Amino acid sequence: MNNTKQATSNEEQINNDPLYRLRQPIPKEYLITYTEDGKTFTGYKAQYAINLLNKNLGEGGWLTEEEIRKEEYINNGWAVAMKLILMLKMTGTIYVPIIVTGYGGSHAKNIANAYKGAKTSAFKNACRYLGIGQELYLGDTSGEEDIVYEPITEQETSSEQPQKPEKIAQGDDLYNKVMKATNLEQLESLKDVVMAFDGGQNAQETLIKIYNTKKIELKEKK
Amino acid sequence: MKHISATSLKTFQTCPMQWMYKYDYELLQAPNPAFQIGSAYHKMVEEFHKGISVENILENTKKDIIKKKTNDEIDMFGLLRLMFVKYAENPIKGNTVKTEFRFNIPLPNLKVGLYGFIDRIVEGDRIVEYKTTSKDYIQEDVNNIQSHIYSYVYFKTYGKIPTVTYSVVNKKKIKQPNYRLQILEIKCTDKDLKTLETDCVNFYNDVQEKKFKANKGKHCFWCPYVNFCNK
């Protein structure tokens, strides 16, 4: 009798708690194995986590915000490090937002692939804090490693020359001026130009983020 | 701090760290379409109450909004037209005393005053405030800092506590055939005005002492500075 009650209670928990549902073991068809430095690892396809969040929270129930932390051309390819904030709207009797942060990186010949890899890596890292794929990490013996590099399969592109992403390239001069500002006066003199930048919404948002990051850095140094 | 506005006080009460990033660090915010719609709608209603014809207001707004003929601009103007025409069909009546009334009222025991704009003042001690929203208002929503500040300003200017009327248009419902704008009213009390003075003093002191602790909550979801906040 008690066992039956217990089973029902567990089922109720699964049905009522979206977070609990996110933590269920990943089906085998979504698992992938890859080799890095001679070792074999088991990971999962990011699409699994995307489908899982859409299914449990609805398509408007979660969103991500990315911030490029580093972008560098090294070893014949692009290394990109990214911070990603994953925000969930949990609705129940009261409204409770859940926000987790993930970091990730990737290295690829094509910068677009490096961006995609870094985002996927940071996304999975953030998902880890929600318990998605926890069984894979529990089996990980690599210790406290938080940043998981995303293995990338890419085709050679027609252009051998590395290209800056379009969104930065359009505001290249402005981007460099913001990055090189050494004091608040210099930076603030660029404010109107940044706000009037006409390279598309995403490019402007990126520039504003870079400006704000620089401003915090200079303000706190002062 | 140069002055206290309704938005500034509300931001601080929601999250002191958000206030710090916005008003002390003066970080930039990406242009927000919701803000653009709100500003354009306010301007249309203001012109309407100055006696400009609906046709002329729509024509002028069209020129202001549609510059590159993008789908976003066309959609934005379409929405504004619907909202404004709906308001013009059933406006908040009364003889207009002032529109966009700018105030800068001193506060007792503080070096800074209350600053801002009141959308419209109507004869009979009534303030009218226009709101564009994506969610219907409830009565509780109008018992807010803005109502208290406007009532305080009116009281200090005219010696009477006004009725504050909110005309609320829901952008998500405007296409519904029988949709009507919400009208909500509030009359603040003497106690509300006293509480406001105390809130302003506390706010000013907290800012001087740099008490900018993050306050985690549902507002984090829309906070433009969430990625700079360790909470």
Q: Is the pLDDT of residue A177 over 90?
A: no
Structure confidence by residue, pLDDT tens digits, A5-37? 555 566 666 566 777 888 888 888 888 877 766
Q: What predicted TM-score, i.e. pTM, was given to this entire model?
A: 0.63
Going by C-alpha positions, the residue among B206, B115, B185, B205 that lies closest to residue B152 is: B115
- Asked which of A133-142, A148-157, B19-28, B101-110 is least confident by mean pLDDT, the reply is A148-157
Q: What DSSP element (H or E) covers A194?
A: helix A191-196
Going by C-alpha positions, the residue among B171, B160, B78, B158 that lies closest to residue B130 is: B171
Q: Name the B residues in 23-52 with CB < 8 Å from any A CB.
A: 25-31
DSSP B178: T
Structure confidence by residue, pLDDT tens digits, A207-220? 888 899 899 989 88
Contact A208 B28 (CB under 8 A): yes
Do residues B110 and B201 touch, judged by C-beta distance below 8 A?
A: yes
Collect all residues with Cβ–Cβ distance below 8 Å to A170 and sequence separation of at least 6. A199, A200, A203
Give percent of chain B with pLDDT exceeding 70.
99
Nearest-neighbour CA in chain B from A67: distance (Å): 8
Contact A212 B30 (CB under 8 A): no
Structure confidence by residue, pLDDT tens digits, B116-127? 999 999 999 999
Longest dimension (CA), chain B: 53
What's the rounded mean pLDDT across residues B56-79? 92
Structure confidence by residue, pLDDT tens digits, A59-80? 777 888 888 888 777 777 778 8
Query: Which ipTM value was assigned to this complex?
Result: 0.81
Q: Look up residue B42 and give its two tokens.
A: 């306010």
Contact A96 B218 (CB under 8 A): yes
The residue ranking higher by pLDDT, A87 or A6, is A87
Residues of A with CB under 8 A from a CB of B: 65, 67, 83, 85, 87, 89, 95-97, 99, 191, 194-195, 201, 204-205, 208-209, 211-213, 215-216, 219
Q: Look up residue A80 and give its two tokens.
A: 């990109």
DSSP string computed for A16-77: H-HHHHHTSPPPGGGEEEEEETTEEEEEE-HHHHHHHHHHHH-TTSEEEEEEEEEEEEETTE
Going by C-alpha positions, the residue among A92, A111, A91, A67 that lies closest to residue A208 is: A67
